[in-house]
Chain A
Amino acid sequence: MTVVVEAQKLQKYYNSFQAVASIDFKIHRGECFGILGPNGAGKTTVVAMIYCFHPISGGKLSVLGRDVTTEPRFIKSRLGVVPQENNLDQELTVRENLLVYAGYFGISRAGARKTADELLHFFGLSSKANQQVEQISGGMKRRLTIARGLIHAPEILILDEPTTGLDPQSRRLIWEHLRQLKNKGLTLILTTHYLEEASQLCDELIIMHQGKILEEGRPLELISKHVGAKVIEVEISPAKRYAFLRSVEHLTRNYQLAGNTIYLFIPTDETATVEFINSYKEVQTYRVRPSNLEDVFLKLTGSGLSNDEESYDE
């Protein structure tokens, strides 16, 4: 598979603050590549360097075989960008947004008209074509921003947190559209802090934390590598935790503490562990569920969700 984006020892500093710390990754044509991490992990900075907005501070970054520092114009003409913040042109109508944006790429208005109408149809916006942008809903604005990013038939579409702030229904609709675009062979680069979004859409992903890549791979591989098939969430009083963990340890693969909940990661079959927990009377409640990327993330960052709890790792 052709590599379309390659980062080597890529770094970014904002003054003395290190936003991205010497990272390497490769993105291949036709895949949906996810950049996962909490707010402030450096995701947006990475994609903004790919679409040549932020200059890189060190290392090398090439997109479609060209260097971002020397050939931004070439690169930007072949990328579609859907930024985190909606920046649609509020002084224009829905259709004009697409037509004027096409103009920035040097596409004539007449030439863009057909593509614009196709995109409006694809994203279910045809009936809103002549409305002002302010009059349409948040989910529609997001779809329009994605449509705008596709007006020049780019080779790669970059989406920075495409569904942040949307209701679940609009979110699922956008996932559906992105899946269809991927099936048509478009390369997608997606940043998100929704782990479900990443597992739904991404073929390959990197997990970022504090400017570094903690782990990379396919979502399912990462899950089986780090946390196994099942997770048991156990509630037990803090005083009893240590003893409980000592005696349950041999039945789990790993565990993690977050808040007042203990997450027990089970490799394949949870029956023996559940039996043990049932017999352990200090356990207040427990819940068995399939493991997901969130557990991987929790395991890797080890940070838990609150800072006043110590990890039992020491």
Chain B
Amino acid sequence: MKNPMMNKRTMEKLKTLFTYYRSVNLWALKVFTRNLIVFKKTWGTTIAFNFIEPLLYLAALGAGLGMLIEDIEGMSYTLFIAPGIVATSAMWASAAECSYDSFVRMHFQKIYHAIVATPINLREVVVGELLYGTFKSLLSGTVIMGVITALGLVISPWAFLAPIVLILNGLAFSQIAMIWTGIVPKIDNFAYFFTLIITPMFLFSEVFFPLDVLPQIVQQIAWFLPLYHVVVLLRSLTTGMISIDLIYHTLWLIVFILIIFPLPQILMRRRLIK
């Protein structure tokens, strides 16, 4: 027998769920714009620092360690790790933005409080922050793509599709970081986030070595890491090894982004609104 009350409740739950996705709107864009205005004042230093770390990795691992390593899947070691470096820099850019930087805006500067007194609501503030985190991934990733292209480490025109991957990467990691920002009591607690989530992601997502050298179980776990899919996609694009599998990796990321999408908004509300 059908229960009309039950139906009504389900409908309402769906409606609530839908409001999280509807927060991607022009109001959220205004929050993004605010961050962009601040960014314009400091973009020089931001981008300069973006260069340094990836270049150090490429120099140490590519030119140094790479000398001792034979070709992987027919690629030189430097060619193999270059797209991984792009992916991880983009991941760090988003994750840092939506953890430390968002926490400072939310907790110390009370910017979220100031904005929610305007027509913009907290859900839209969170989405605006996620958009900015995504922008950071796109920016950082694109800059380093430029660097590795100049170094001759991009050998296929498919690489022009890399910005799409960087946007998906940004959406995924901005959200993961923002979930923590909604939970952590103190800014110091982000250390756990980077040690337990971001660093393992960095090490076991096929950035430095192909996963098939590890036990089967590790490979299966890696499948659950968003960065793994980003790395595979970027490496395929920079080297031109295109196959139907790329669709699956892309879909994996899109589904992941959509599923966790309500979480940062729910947690931030729980944190700030009493």
Q: Does A54 make an interface contact (CB < 8 A)?
A: yes
- Quick check: is A242 within 8 A (CB to CB) of the other chain? no
Inter-chain contacts of B41 with A (CB < 8 A): 91
Closest to B274 in A: A14
A74 to chain B, nearest CB (A): 8
0/1 string, A84-96, CB within 8 A of B gives 1 = 0101111110001
Asked whether any CB of chain A lies closer than 8 Å to the CB of B109, the reply is yes
**A residues 70-108 touching B (CB-CB < 8 Å):** 72-73, 76-77, 79, 81, 83, 85, 87-92, 96, 100-101, 103-106
Partner of A92, one of B38, B117, B118, B121: B38
Listed A/B pairs (11) with beta-carbon separation below 8 Å: A51-B117, A53-B113, A54-B273, A85-B110, A85-B113, A87-B113, A89-B111, A96-B37, A100-B37, A105-B118, A106-B30
User: Which B residues, 116 to 135, have Cβ-Cβ distances below 8 Å to chain A?
Assistant: 116-121
Contact B34 A72 (CB under 8 A): no
Number of A-B pairs whose CB atoms are under 8 Å?
Answer: 60
**Interface of chain B residues 189 through 244 with chain A (CB within 8 A):** none
Q: Are B109 and A89 closer than 8 Å at their CB atoms?
A: yes
Q: Is the CB–CB distance between A72 and B114 below 8 Å?
A: no
CB distance from A123 to the nearest CB of B (A): 18
Q: Which of B30, B110, B114, B121 has the most CB of A within 10 A?
A: B114
Please state if B274 and A90 are interface contacts (CB–CB under 8 Å).
no
A182 to chain B, nearest CB (A): 21
**A55: interface (CB < 8 Å):** yes
Chain A, residues 5-39, CB within 8 Å of chain B (1/0): the string is: 00000000010000000000000000000000000
The range of chain A's interface size is 20 to 34
How many whole Å from B26's CB to the nearest CB in chain A? 8
A73 touches B274 (CB 8 A): no
Please, how many angstroms separate the alpha-carbon atoms of A35 and B97 in the complex?
40
Tell me the A182-210 residues at the B interface (CB within 8 Å).
none
Residues of A within 8 Å of B109, CB to CB, are: 87, 89-91
Q: How far is B155's CA from A91's CA once the two chains are assembled, in angstroms?
A: 41
Q: B residues within 8 A CB of A79? A: 117
Residue contact A103 to B33, C-beta cutoff 8 Å: yes
Contacts of A85 in B (CB 8 A): 110, 113
Instruction: Give the distance to chain B from A115, nearest Cβ to Cβ, in Å.
Output: 15
Bound complex: CA of A85 vs CA of B111, how far in Å? 11
| Interface membership of B115, Cβ < 8 A | yes
Q: Is A55 within 8 A of B273, CB to CB?
A: yes
Give the complex CA separation of A94 and B31 in angstroms. Answer: 18
Instruction: Assess the A83–B37 pair: CB atoms within 8 A.
Output: no
Given the complex, which residues of B lie within 8 Å of A54, measured CB to CB? 273-274
Find the A residue at minimum CB distance from B114: A87
Q: Chain A's nearest CB lies how many Å from the CB of B40?
A: 11
**Would B119 and A76 count as touching, CB distance under 8 A?**
yes
